[in-house]
Structure 1
Amino acid sequence: MSIDAVAFKKGMRHLAASVTLITTRHHDLRGGLTATAVCSVSAEPPQILVCVNKTASAHDPIGEAGFFCVNILAPGHRKLAERFAGMDGVEGDERFRDLGEWSTLTTGAPVLKGCPVSFDCRLVTKVSAGTHTIYIGEIVDLALDAAATPLLYADGAFVHGDLLKKAISGG
């Protein structure tokens, strides 16, 4: 017997995670969503997984395009995190307008400049799991900014990764 969804969500609020934008391009339209359910799968070959709610507007485009980018956000990207989470009512390709500087790497998925890292992935596996699909992608390219720190999410709030960096260094 499982716990109920409310108890699960309360418990998960205590799992700190990097805030990401999962982006794709399908039929010349960009799509994306904010996600924290992201983790590495393997180093050889380099793979990462993302869990996407089946009701998310970017769910089907990711599966149909066959590629996606995992953009790990920096603290200055909070407005983008809120927009891609649907907090301002902007949908689809419009989410990319007026915020952030965008480029592409190998797959053509949108890559946000200024991120600590962006992983450009080719979709290799998808698994249905309850309300979500687990998309596993092989990392075919990346953009790395070693000076940037991640934006984190814990206990229902955004937390600057620089605070974590200070705590680790003893500062």
Structure 2
Amino acid sequence: MNPNEPGGRIHSTDPFAVPESSKSPIRRLRGRFAAPVTIWTAPGPAGLTVSSTVVADGDPGRVLGLIDEESDLWDAALNAGVFAVVPLTPADRQLADRFAGLMPAPGGLFATGEWRQTAYGPVPAQASTWAGCRLGGSRPCGWALLVEGIVESMEIGTSATPLVHYRGRYTELA
């Protein structure tokens, strides 16, 4: 296709991505760590795609994540005192993009797909694994809030291949 001709073009790279040379060294380092892609939801309902998530074993177990303080999810979790964390699979790429604000969500985030209502927030009906958390605390951490959830309830289903975020893109384990 001639680049001077009108019409859409399909890019093999993200045309909106920040060039590698313009990223801070910390952002470049973070990009080299593979991270699980999850959605966090809260009663309201509200939700957000989160790839900065860590699960800490203990009694009780805890979920830690970096959440945008200005997100609807943070307001809803703060008001309700609870939230749900759902690990996503490669089949959930569009769901991840929708909750990240990268894909249109006519009617709202929860308007499409089937959802189970839980005391911790809506959970995708097809999700076999998820955790219900009580808000344990938060503190500023870099660009976000480090949010701590105390795991109160969980379902552990089949071990599905996780959706992973690596170097700015979704991928899956080989």
Verify same fold: TM over 0.5: yes
Higher Rg: 2
Query: Do 2:41 and 2:120's aligned partners in 1 also have CA atoms closer than 8 Å?
Result: no
Do structure 1's residue 96 and structure 2's residue 114 form an aligned pair?
A: no
Alpha-carbon distance in structure 2 between the residues aligned to 1:141 and 1:108:
9
Deviations 1:10-35 (A, max 9, x none): 2211110110001101xxx3101101
**Counterpart residue number, 1:6:** 24
Deviation at 1:89, TM superposition (A): 4.0
Do structure 1's residue 142 and structure 2's residue 160 form an aligned pair?
A: no
Query: Do 1:74 and 1:114's aligned partners in 2 also have CA atoms closer than 8 Å?
Result: no
Q: Aligned residues: percent identity?
A: 25
Do structure 1's residue 22 and structure 2's residue 34 form an aligned pair?
A: no
Query: Do 1:16 and 1:153's aligned partners in 2 also have CA atoms closer than 8 Å?
Result: yes
Structure with the higher strand share, 1 or 2: 1
How many residues end up aligned between the 2 structures? 153
Gaps of 5+ in 1: 164-171
Structure with the higher helix share, 1 or 2: 1
**Counterpart residue number, 1:74:** 89
Alignment of 1:1-171 (within 5 A): 6-25=24-43, 29-90=44-105, 94-99=108-113, 101-105=114-118, 107-115=119-127, 117-161=129-173, 163=174
Alpha-carbon distance in structure 1 between the residues aligned to 2:98 and 2:127:
16
TM-score, L = length of structure 2: 0.79
Indicate the RMSD between aligned Cα atoms, in angstroms: 2.1
Query: Do 1:22 and 1:69's aligned partners in 2 also have CA atoms closer than 8 Å?
Result: yes
| SS of structure 2 residue aligned to 1:39 | strand
Gaps of 5+ in 2: 1-21
Query: Do 1:74 and 1:116's aligned partners in 2 also have CA atoms closer than 8 Å?
Result: no
Alpha-carbon distance in structure 2 between the residues aligned to 1:135 and 1:90:
26
